[in-house]
Amino acid sequence: MIRFTLACDNDHHFESWFASNAACDKLMSAGMVECTTCGSTDIKKTLMAPAVPKKGNITPTQNPIEKLRAEVEANSEYVGGSFATQARDMHDGLMDEKPIYGEANAADTKKLIEDGVPILPLPFVPTKKVN
């Protein structure tokens, strides 16, 4: 259930409960919501007060891992599953070095580290980008 503060065309405000946002819209467009003061069916929703986060909640920008993710994603190129290949090619001088991030399986990661390719496991799953 969701509660909306509604207003009629005569600017009467009243509250009403609905099963969902969609149900509220449906009932209003069907003229089934009446102003409790004047009976008008020209009703619109008023803005709901924004939710205030509970004290002590960590928002994404304050979370150090999210901050790291944002920095990595802003400054590096996402190469997805070709990470291991590209990291190795850069290490071997086969392609220009650039900051990249992506996904590699455990075996590839182990091999890269053994071969001295400077890689760093990230403490998050990268946001997949479609480029």
Query: CA 40 to CA 113: how far, in whole Å?
Result: 72
Reference 65, options 127, 4, 124, 126; nearest CA is 124
* 3-14 per-residue burial string, b: 16 or more CB within 10 A, e: under 16: ebebbbeeeeeb
* Shortest Å distance, C-beta 44 to Zn ion: 11
* Shortest Å distance, C-beta 40 to Zn ion: 5
Judged by beta carbon, residue 29 or residue 127, the one nearer Zn ion is 29
* Shortest Å distance, C-beta 38 to Zn ion: 3
* Shortest Å distance, C-beta 129 to Zn ion: 50
First to last CA, the chain: 41
CA 131 from chain centre, in angstroms, equals: 19
Judged by beta carbon, residue 12 or residue 111, the one nearer Zn ion is 12
Judged by beta carbon, residue 16 or residue 40, the one nearer Zn ion is 40
* Shortest Å distance, C-beta 4 to Zn ion: 15
Judged by beta carbon, residue 32 or residue 38, the one nearer Zn ion is 38
Judged by beta carbon, residue 36 or residue 76, the one nearer Zn ion is 36
Q: Residues in the site for Zn ion, rule: CB under 5 A?
A: 8, 10, 12, 35, 37-38, 40
Cα-Cα-Cα-Cα torsion 32, 34, 39, 45, nearest 10 degrees, comes to -130
Q: In terms of residues, how long is the chain?
A: 131
